[in-house]
Structure 1
Amino acid sequence: MLARIYGYESVEELIANLTDIQNQLYVQPDRRTEFIQLLQNQDLVRGFESEVYRRDGNKIWILENARAIRGANGELLGYEGTVEDITERKQSEAALHRRDSLLQGVAEATHYLLTNPNCEQAIAQSLKALGTAAQVDRVYIFENHPHPQTGEVAMSTRFEWTHPETSPILYESHWQNLPYTNSGLSRWYQTLASGQSIAGIVRSFPQAEQKLLIQDRVLSILLAPIWVEEEFWGYIGLDDCHSEREWSKNEESILMAIAASIGAVLQRRWTEDMIRYQAFHDLLTGLPNRILFGDRLLQALTQSKLHQGMIAVMFLDLDRFKTINDTLGHAIGDQLLQNAAQRLISCLRESDMVARWGGDEFTLLLPQISCAEDAAQIARRILEVMQPAFSLEGHELHITSSIGIALSPQDGLDAQSLLKNADAALYRAKDQGRNNYQFYTVAISSEVSEQLILSNSLHHALERQEFVIYYQPQIDIRTGQITQMEALLRWHHPDLGIISPRKFISLAEENGLIIPIGEWVLQAACTQCRIWQAMNLPPVRVAVNLSVRQFQQPQLVERIMQVLQTTGLNPALLELEITETAAMQNIDLSIDTLHELRAKGVRISMDDFGTGYSSLSHLKKFPLDTLKIDSSFVQDLTDNSDDVAIITAIVALGKGLKLAVVAEGVETESQMKCLRSLHCQEMQGYWLSPPLAVQTATRFLQTHLQAAL
């Protein structure tokens, strides 16, 4: 058996050929010295691992267990023991290490691509991160383009990272303006253009491909297509120049995901001027948007403080615009906004600014006024220019406007205060009959704010049983099966009616009430899920969100298990949702807590995935079952190639880590179809079902069961 491990037919053949064990057998001869030294010192050696040569020159890994044989005087005469071939185990360990390293590199590369606004720098950083993590000799990007002489499709290197010991190819002439067809690379174009990757050992490639690659000592290659605006733009490639590497499916999948992200970045570079314009302007009216307005307002405040000047901020909206929009249609409404914007511009001085805040609301900045009357004059001018009818497609539309004005320094020294106070003055103008302007006054601020009411009422809401839970289904589009019901908290205020958690959760976090509220939600949701099981409804999981403070509680696991025990709910039917923010508060504690929950059978999902970066680099450490793509990426999915690229990357990462991927906030059929085309099959959102009260949710599940039967 020992002889066969080393590639010999018999022990005699082994002894005859292996005359110098240390230098003939061991890849690192010093390992033999270490082995003998251990026997000298401790008589017994266990689990001694070494890399050795077989007779044919191939390398294998062995594990040796040995006991020393000593003479009468204690001298080492020899040893006896066993040798085990552990090559497969070592290869598996190496593969796992390579996978983990690659995922880390992908996280780092994705971070650069998503956060660095400098396209060239972001790509260079990502290629370095990817190349280092993948342990390759080159990473490069080729762009397709018409050949300068013939016009046929050719390729040229655009970006490259190389290992310090490897020669770069970026400026090699044979990789510039290289036609696919005339260079024998038609197979590459056809495969990559069809959306597939190319992977393999070069000596198995067609002769023309070998001839080209061997110039740069490439032994193994992996290529993935890059798509920009649904066109095959080029490809990203990995070269191994030191071994005939077999590429794993995981490596292919990850490279495809990176290629998708790079495609989005390239699109960003080409359209950066348009993107910058869109980021700071309203596309309908051409006016600055609230972002640019906010920036200009900050500048104006800084200047006014330096020179002890006065500025004015106005909030304006078009009276009864919604009626026109609803009766005559959005096309007429859009034209009205465009024409109104032009009239507003005509009223302003060169130093002034008007922006579209949203809907039919506009904001105006008057950075150089000497008194309140200056602002009043402009407000009156605006009211006057709005008086004449707007002639739009045969309609004579008479429309007025209401204006609220706040002054600095008297009404606020910061942007937020000025905007809030101008908005309050606007609503006072509307209350005064519209078609007028109002200055902010102290009387407006004396009114009790809704936030204060909520804050005071929140302390008694739990004991008064004012909280209710709605349940929103999560559905697998492929099967139509309900995979789980997410518990969503609502507050039934006796005076204000149903209140969304967006209005009170932050208050509960601040005053610590989120802990008892969160425990109540967990108890109620588990109880309801157990009731559904008792009704013989489908075994659907219930998902419960854990807040940041709740997740940080030291007795969290014990409390959750206590709830499961008292309700009798199977832990497998509970999924806890945490956000990236919660997970990253204390990484080590988060990992320990999540592992403990998983060990108890509870499922874990990461909510709002993609809104943070840090957790990407720790993703493989978290024992997750599900990634939930944040609705912000879904909202503009059908119109935003960046969102498509991000979701593609997240789906690929989830697949590589064997995690379910769920898209949140699906509100339209087109979003659903787009997500399905990106292989994201589990979804949640108003297009599928809004959050449902308990009774409605129960009927929903019953209907689903009947349909399934």
Structure 2
Amino acid sequence: MSRKPRQERGSMVRPPMESGKKIIAPSLLWMVIGAAALALLSTLQKLHLGVSLHWSGYLLPLLVGAGGGLAMYRFFLRERRQFAALVQSEERYRTLYRKTPVMLHSIDRLGRIIEVSDHWLTVLGYGRDEVIGRPLVDFFCDDSRRLAAEVLPRFYSVGNVHDIPYCFVRKDGSQIEVLLSAVSERDNRGSFRRSLAVAIDVTEYNAKAREIERLAFFDVLTGLPNRFLFKRLFDQSLAAAGEGRGLALVLLDLDRFKGINENHGHQEGDALLQAVAERLRSTEVAALVVARLAGDEFALLFELPGESRDLEPTVRALLDAVARPVNFGPRDLKTTASAGIACFPQDGGDASTLLRHADSALATAKATGRNTFSFFSREIQQQAQAQQRLEGALRRALDNDEFFLAYQPQIDSDAARIVGVEALLRWNHPELGIIGPGRFIEVAEESGLIVPIGAWVLRQACTTAAGWQQGRAGGVRLAVNFSPHQFKQPDFVANIEAVLAETGLDPRCLEVELTEGIVMENTEATLMTLADLKVMGVHLAVDDFGTGYSSLSYLKHFPFDRVKIAQEFVRDIPGDSDSAAIVVAILGMAASLGLAVVAEGVENAEQLAFLRQHGCREMQGFCFAPPLSPEDFQRLLASDTFAAAGRFAGCAPLPPDRA
């Protein structure tokens, strides 16, 4: 009830359950008392959350006099319950928001923090009163502040962002890397009111990714780009080369370096390689790129503004620099080098061709007498003609059914059983005998013949594996490699689906192996293709992992099941520290992403022990079995036993072909 003199102004009547909320104006109250009649009221209250609440009730005048009046007001119970429920819902939401074990934050239209989760505060080391009301960018590193200046206007306009890489600065000054995604809350007019953002800590993942990138793209011993990075930089230089601008590729190989290692030890051999690398880096004519391709082989890329012969003094200076003695305490160690040169555009228009031609020229230089160099010549061009003849022979091989498949088991070394098998292509040449794919697959790829050859491989492998499904092989994966040309075909998925239907092979028994380069060329189209394959039930694997783009973000976004460690890394473990570091890093990243791993090319007990010690269970290689005929593989599978030395009772392995 209320009793007030008519002259009093400025205060508001408070409903009994509101405790301080002001709803009814005094002027309205005295109008009702003066009329001496029951009044029904409806008023709108705006709450602090931006929610409007309608109240309904009545005012009843009880006493009216010259000096004042008396009135009773009452609001309906339904509205009181509505308000109480809203308050309770708000509290539940706030509790859930703060206690969720992820980094959540909300900002207003000015970018100021209006709420954060407890986990957000814990990770960054701040108290709630230290962050509320401050701009979010206050907690970013400098690079992230610049990025936010670009992203926030778009976020306010569009209303959402996904996986934006930011870097938060903790209270102690350390930094964490996050992927931030956010959505916005809008009012009835569509204006931005507040955000809800979640930040995922990817600091450890990014550190592993950078380490793998460093190991996979740079030579640990010399710090130079390795073969994979050089190939990428070479491609970029070729793409940037305009009309009239030439490039020269120099392949340089140390002479008799193997003898140095054998006579003086690997420690001095490594020191010699480091000295050579430094001398190549500091040549008078700066190279665009200096790389260590493998062992004692280096590559240098030069601009060539004039004739190719103009490069001769530079190459001779390189060989002279390498030939200078390297001091090792009490003695000097001396070596020489040979070089092969191929020039763009006259000797080839792409990196693969130029590398091949430079390598041919290098072989000519070494045959000439070492400590010299040779340019790619017309005589060497005859090798290209030989490749053309090879292409014709491949076409005839398809027509004459000269190809066949061998099957190499993939072993679970812990369970001592076969869990998969890879189909490997072989060519039974009528004159040269059995030829491995290393001798012809590049020509098949360049000519486009890889598409029909690959289609034959898929159909043949699935037909054979379907015959095994009735027995023990029903649960064994069949791994089939696919080339870039095949993957780019518009009917790639449809062809796989048709072959599976035709042969009756369970899609869950097929594993599609793709190289890193394939999946990085067109990520959106690639993701759609891989998603279609996953819907079919097919397994997906990255073949020769670490030899291409080293993968990094695509492993997170693409639906791969397995990575295969390239045999060129496995081959040199555990003795080669670089290869060992790469293998360990790949195993660690795969484990963090929940991916299975198969190590290729396991050939001895030392490699087997190293891989098992670092958590790799599945392996493939001559340590367990060579590539086998279908019949021999089926017998091996039925026996369910194998020997660690790689020789199997009752099996007649095909002639080993490690090409």
Candidates 631, 650, 653, aligned match of 2:593:
650
Alignment of 1:32-43 (within 5 A): none
Q: Which residue does the alignment assign to 1:29?
A: none
Q: Which residue does the alignment assign to 1:628?
A: 562
Which one has the largest radius of gyration?
Answer: 2
* Counterpart AA for 2:500: I
Deviations 1:422-442 (A, max 9, x none): 333222212323222222323
Residue 399, structure 1, aligned to residue 335, structure 2 = yes
User: Taking structure 1 as reference, are residues 633 and 374 closer, same or farther at Cα in structure 2, changes over 3 Å only?
Assistant: closer
* Counterpart AA for 2:292: W
Alignment of 1:307-706 (within 5 A): 312-326=248-262, 328-344=264-280, 348-352=283-287, 355-358=290-293, 359-367=295-303, 374-387=310-323, 390=326, 392=328, 397-407=333-343, 411=347, 419-448=355-384, 451-493=387-429, 494-495=431-432, 497-500=434-437, 503-504=440-441, 507=444, 511=448, 514-515=451-452, 518-519=455-456, 521-523=458-460, 526-527=463-464, 530=467, 540=476, 542-544=478-480, 548=487, 549=489, 552=492, 554=494, 557=497, 559-564=499-504, 571=506, 574-577=509-512, 579=514, 604-608=538-542, 619=559, 627-631=561-565, 638-639=581-582, 643=586, 646-651=589-594, 661-663=596-598, 665=600, 667=602, 668=607, 669-675=609-615, 683-686=618-621, 689=624, 691-694=626-629, 697-698=633-634, 700-701=636-637, 704-705=640-641
State the secondary structure of the residue aligned to 1:448. helix
User: Taking structure 1 as reference, are residues 424 and 304 closer, same or farther at Cα in structure 2, changes over 3 Å only?
Assistant: farther
User: Taking structure 1 as reference, are residues 537 and 516 closer, same or farther at Cα in structure 2, changes over 3 Å only?
Assistant: closer
Do the aligned partners of 1:633 and 1:643 also contact (CA within 8 Å) in 2? no
Q: Which residue does the alignment assign to 1:25?
A: none
Number of matched pairs: 460
1:666 and 1:519 mapped to 2: Cα distance? Answer: 25
Unaligned runs of at least 5 residues, structure 2: 1-80, 83-95, 129-173, 183-197, 544-549, 570-578, 644-659
Q: Say what the alpha-carbon RMSD is for the aligned residues.
A: 5.8
State the secondary structure of the residue aligned to 2:383. coil
Alignment of 1:170-189 (within 5 A): none
2:494 and 2:234 mapped to 1: Cα distance? Answer: 46
User: Taking structure 1 as reference, are residues 630 and 451 closer, same or farther at Cα in structure 2, changes over 3 Å only?
Assistant: farther
Unaligned runs of at least 5 residues, structure 1: 1-55, 58-134, 143-158, 184-231, 240-254, 565-569, 620-625, 655-660
Measured after TM superposition, the shift of residue 647 of structure 1 is 1.5
2:392 and 2:355 mapped to 1: Cα distance? Answer: 25
Measured after TM superposition, the shift of residue 265 of structure 1 is 1.7
Measured after TM superposition, the shift of residue 317 of structure 1 is 0.9
Residue 264, structure 1, aligned to residue 205, structure 2 = yes
Measured after TM superposition, the shift of residue 320 of structure 1 is 2.1
User: Taking structure 1 as reference, are residues 386 and 460 closer, same or farther at Cα in structure 2, changes over 3 Å only?
Assistant: same
Do the aligned partners of 2:473 and 2:637 also contact (CA within 8 Å) in 1? yes
Do the aligned partners of 2:422 and 2:479 also contact (CA within 8 Å) in 1? yes
1:613 and 1:287 mapped to 2: Cα distance? Answer: 24
User: Taking structure 1 as reference, are residues 629 and 391 closer, same or farther at Cα in structure 2, changes over 3 Å only?
Assistant: same
2:447 and 2:329 mapped to 1: Cα distance? Answer: 53
User: Taking structure 1 as reference, are residues 458 and 634 closer, same or farther at Cα in structure 2, changes over 3 Å only?
Assistant: closer
User: Taking structure 1 as reference, are residues 588 and 416 closer, same or farther at Cα in structure 2, changes over 3 Å only?
Assistant: closer
User: Taking structure 1 as reference, are residues 387 and 673 closer, same or farther at Cα in structure 2, changes over 3 Å only?
Assistant: closer
2:495 and 2:287 mapped to 1: Cα distance? Answer: 57
Do the aligned partners of 2:208 and 2:589 also contact (CA within 8 Å) in 1? no
State the secondary structure of the residue aligned to 1:314. strand
Do the aligned partners of 1:405 and 1:439 also contact (CA within 8 Å) in 2? yes
2:509 and 2:234 mapped to 1: Cα distance? Answer: 49
1:283 and 1:543 mapped to 2: Cα distance? Answer: 32
* Counterpart AA for 2:610: S
2:270 and 2:436 mapped to 1: Cα distance? Answer: 32
State the secondary structure of the residue aligned to 1:424. helix
Do the aligned partners of 1:538 and 1:705 also contact (CA within 8 Å) in 2? no
State the secondary structure of the residue aligned to 2:620. coil
* Counterpart AA for 1:577: V
2:109 and 2:580 mapped to 1: Cα distance? Answer: 40
User: Taking structure 1 as reference, are residues 513 and 648 closer, same or farther at Cα in structure 2, changes over 3 Å only?
Assistant: closer
1:410 and 1:516 mapped to 2: Cα distance? Answer: 32
Do the aligned partners of 2:249 and 2:301 also contact (CA within 8 Å) in 1? yes
Measured after TM superposition, the shift of residue 393 of structure 1 is 7.0
* Counterpart AA for 1:685: Q
Measured after TM superposition, the shift of residue 360 of structure 1 is 1.3
Deviations 1:590-611 (A, max 9, x none): 877875xx6xxxx621122896
- Is 577-586 or 514-523 further displaced after alignment? 577-586
State the secondary structure of the residue aligned to 1:285. coil
Measured after TM superposition, the shift of residue 648 of structure 1 is 3.1
TM-score, structure 2 as length reference: 0.53
1:371 and 1:572 mapped to 2: Cα distance? Answer: 57
2:360 and 2:233 mapped to 1: Cα distance? Answer: 21
2:181 and 2:240 mapped to 1: Cα distance? Answer: 51
State the secondary structure of the residue aligned to 2:441. helix
1:498 and 1:606 mapped to 2: Cα distance? Answer: 28
User: Taking structure 1 as reference, are residues 174 and 588 closer, same or farther at Cα in structure 2, changes over 3 Å only?
Assistant: closer
State the secondary structure of the residue aligned to 1:435. coil
2:476 and 2:628 mapped to 1: Cα distance? Answer: 16
Measured after TM superposition, the shift of residue 329 of structure 1 is 3.8
Do the aligned partners of 1:139 and 1:160 also contact (CA within 8 Å) in 2? no
Q: Which residue does the alignment assign to 1:102?
A: none
1:556 and 1:313 mapped to 2: Cα distance? Answer: 41
1:238 and 1:344 mapped to 2: Cα distance? Answer: 47
* Counterpart AA for 2:593: I
User: Taking structure 1 as reference, are residues 583 and 496 closer, same or farther at Cα in structure 2, changes over 3 Å only?
Assistant: farther
TM-score, structure 1 as length reference: 0.50
Do the aligned partners of 2:253 and 2:297 also contact (CA within 8 Å) in 1? yes
State the secondary structure of the residue aligned to 2:426. strand
* Counterpart AA for 1:424: S
Do the aligned partners of 2:347 and 2:354 also contact (CA within 8 Å) in 1? yes
Measured after TM superposition, the shift of residue 512 of structure 1 is 5.6
Percentage of matched positions with identical amino acids: 24
